Chains A and B, each alone.
Chain A
Amino acid sequence: MAKRVLIVDDALFMRNTLRDIFATAGFTVAGEADDGVQAVSLFRELKPDLVTMDIVMPYKSGIDATREIVQVDPGAVVIMCSALGQESLVMEAIEAGATDFIVKPFRGEDVLAVVKKVLGE
């Protein structure tokens, strides 16, 4: 079974870029959310194997969304997508329960390396 991923980012550009990376690697993109509120509700609905989570988003930050997702499912795999210079936010997200992180700008292989590692593949 292909792993199912939920992509969360407020920029369509980033969502499309990530979608291509995952699709090429044989993942199923189960859904996309463009803010933290939508992310949590889509997570409940889709129960994806993996979430990529932007940090700075409207309505609800990626950190708060991660915290709620982990409450819903303590085993949730949430990978933060952060930009350079956001380390303290990434660390806050990790304390909120994020599994791991990737730093923009990323190449497809960087993303997949992290994802495969945290999924234990």
Chain B
Amino acid sequence: MASAQHKYLSIFVTEAREQLAQLEGELVRIETEAEGPAGALLWDSIFRKAHSVKGSAATLGLTELVALAHAAEALIFKLKTKAQKPERGQVEMLLQATDAIARLVGQAARQINVDAGDALPRPQLEGPPSVVGAELVERLAAAAQALPDPQPAARFRGIEARPAIDPALPRYQVVVQLSSKCQAPGARALIVQRKLKALGTLIDLEPTPAQLMQTKGAARLTADVASARSADELRLACASVPEVDSVTVSSTGNGVVQGGAGPGAAPPPPDLAAVKVDQSPPAPRAQVDGRGLRPEPTVRVKAESLDQLLDAAGEVLLGIARLREASRKLPESHAAAFETEVDRLRRTARELHNKVMGARLTPFSALTERLPRAVRDLSQRLGKEVDLIIEGAEVELDRAVIEAMGDPLSHLVRNAVDHGLESTAERAAKGKRPRGKLTLSARRERNYVVIDLSDDGRGLDGAALARKAIASGALSAEAAALLTPAAAVELAFLPGLSTRAEATDVSGRGVGLDAVQRSVEQLGGRLSLRSEVDCGARFTIELPLSVSMSNLLLVQAGGEVYGLPVARVLVTTEYDLSARGGEGFESRSVIVGGAWVTAYGLATLFGLPSLSPPGPRPFVVLEVDGVTFALAVDRLAGQEEAVIKPLAPPLDRVRGLLGTTVLGNGRPLLVLDPRGLAEMAGVHKGAALRAEHLPSRGAA
């Protein structure tokens, strides 16, 4: 089929997906924002999206898609003309059409496999409803039919005022045969009409352009023209119009002089201005757009190219670090000059790296675009009323972060609607406003982007969570007794812990908040939770702006050097455990900042011999999930900024490893995953309790 071979199919798919995602958001908004000039602009934008997808799809020969888009557009057009709040059912139908079109776009995409790396994953809260296209087209058409027809523009009704005819002019009958291939005879007739008017006085045209509107194919136009021009000129003028099969011009003899073109017979000026007098000056752009100023010009770049560019920029940085390392072997006389140059190069390379990172930034809206729709559908299904407020949609994050956050974020949103917010009745009983409020905001703080998701729902019950944790064996009763209410709430991050007795089909049972936390931490971020019963809950996700450059603490253990993300390191310290009984210090504790912290040997965790002589040795104190623990290492070997690369299979299954990087001296380095280490060591929540008054980096 033609569409499979079209070389621009992938562009169509990308464009259509973008437009459909926006269309979806706008359809949800129109339910509440249909009125006034802003509503009119929103309707225009909705119409444009449906229309644009239809136009491209038609050129690709995607007939089923065109039929759907056309039916949707027709309904949108009537609603737009009505400029009123649409009914819920109408919006629902249009949303279904959007889904169905998206599925057809997906089908088209599969023919070329453009999915790989080309489109951002969209948070999907629910599976698409199954609606058969043809049936939907019918329903859309019926809905459009039920609405009154907009008033046809009066100016197409024909020749409004009979023009004054100079009786001295020759009269002609012009018969124009339009081709059977003619797609829009009304418009075609209008062009013929204009040609004739330019050459004389058009007295009559049958049928009028307005009468031909909505017809297709061949048509025969008969015009009565008074003109000083010759029959040939009239014929040639009409014959130069596309889709005209034949023209015959016959003199009807009313005129007095044949061909005597007097000075007064000059063709009247083109009547463009006469026809439309309502040429209001163009509105300023910001008003026309409805969303603000026209964006800067952009080009579309394959995400993969940006990734490769970033990799290359990272390699350049590494190469420069290697150069520096090598320069140490230079004689001193040359070293200084060389180092200056290398330093300059490094600054440029760093700038290049930052620029590439910047180019990869994607607005937060890529994640939130589809949430209003999802929340709307879900809350309707659950019989709840929810206001979703999104703030900071323009805040930019690295593409990789956006991609990785899609699922976790929709997870949290789904949880909030399903578990967090109460039903309307329950809220009324508690004296709360009937509509639940869900606020999703993003903001930039230094090198972090902070995403907050808060609801004013029932909140989490720390005490209940603690009881569950004890019952499931995840927490000892003693440890639970020591938990502050604020800390107890974060027990919800433990795997398999939910305060809801019954599982729902929406978000299952206690849906993997642990999984959400893991995703956030894999990006070098932190997830925290504040909640109070009946007041609501607030999840805070802190994410690094860039994921690829990380500060690493280099540590040596068992003869190997490893990297530890500095973001997880609370403090490093030195301690002489041998003073308290030699090397058998596993699961012993060290005092850090006045609190006891359990210590583990890094070498021992990996089954390597510790090469450290007895006596004082360094400890790295790490924090994971609010749990603090210490790692004994043989030596602290410095700090380095590095581009962490993910591990390839099968190494990615090795516990305790985060990724690899290459050091300045060219040696490969394994980067350790503090969370994995904590698991390997069997660190549990209880361990954190004694360290509670340690300075916590995350606590705001």
Contact = CB atoms under 8 A, between A and B. Distances in A.
Contacts of B66: 84, 105
B61 interface: yes
Interface in B197-232: 209, 213-214
A67 B277 CA distance: 12
Given A95-B276, A117-B242, A120-B240, A68 B52 contact: no
A95 B272 contact: yes
Contacts of B279: 67
A83 B15 contact: no
B59 A106 contact: yes
Nearest to B156: A91
Of A54, A68, A83, which is in contact with the most chain B CB atoms at under 10 Å from its CB? A83
A97 B66 CA distance: 29
A54 B48 CA distance: 11
Given A67-B279, A95-B155, A37 B285 contact: yes
A30 interface: no
A104 B59 contact: yes
Contacts of A20: 7
A104 B55 contact: yes
Interface string A46-57: 000000001011
Nearest to A94: B190
Given A92-B153, A113-B242, A58 B11 contact: no
A4 interface: no
Given A97-B272, A105-B61, A11 B241 contact: no
A68 B288 CA distance: 16
Given A83-B58, A96-B272, A91 B52 contact: no
A113 B12 CA distance: 25
B607 interface: no
Interface in B62-78: 66, 70, 73-74
Contacts of B56: 11, 13-14
Interface residues of B, number: 50
Interface in B279-297: 279, 282, 285, 288-289, 294
Among A67, A91, A104, A114, the one with the most B-chain Cβ atoms within 10 Å of its Cβ is A91
Contact of A13 (B8, B45, B74, B155): B8
B582 interface: no
B240 A117 contact: yes
A84 B48 contact: no
B74 A59 contact: no
Contact of B52 (A11, A17, A64, A96): A11
Interface centre among A14, A70, A113 (most CB of B within 10 A): A14
Given A56-B47, A59-B288, A83 B54 contact: yes
Given A17-B8, A105-B61, A91 B55 contact: no
Interface in B633-667: none
Contact of A94 (B8, B194, B240): B194
B191 interface: yes
A120 B239 CA distance: 11
A87 B8 contact: no
Contacts of B59: 13-14, 17, 104-106
Contacts of A17: 8, 59
B294 A37 contact: yes
A83 B77 CA distance: 14
A113 B187 CA distance: 17
A12 B300 CA distance: 10
B184 interface: yes
Contacts of A67: 279
B501 interface: no
Given A12-B300, A16-B11, A100-B242, A95 B288 contact: no
Interface of A: 10-14, 16-17, 20, 35, 37, 54, 56-60, 64, 67-68, 70, 74, 81-85, 87-88, 90-92, 94-97, 100-101, 103-106, 113-114, 117-118, 120
30 contacts: A11-B12, A13-B8, A13-B15, A56-B51, A56-B52, A57-B48, A59-B294, A67-B279, A74-B270, A83-B51, A84-B183, A85-B73, A85-B74, A87-B184, A87-B186, A91-B213, A94-B187, A94-B190, A94-B191, A95-B272, A95-B275, A95-B276, A96-B272, A100-B241, A103-B183, A106-B59, A114-B242, A114-B243, A117-B240, A120-B240
Interface of B: 7-8, 11-12, 15, 45, 47-48, 51-52, 54-56, 58-61, 66, 70, 73-74, 152-153, 155-156, 183-184, 186-187, 190-191, 194, 209, 213-214, 240-243, 270, 272, 275-276, 279, 282, 285, 288-289, 294, 300
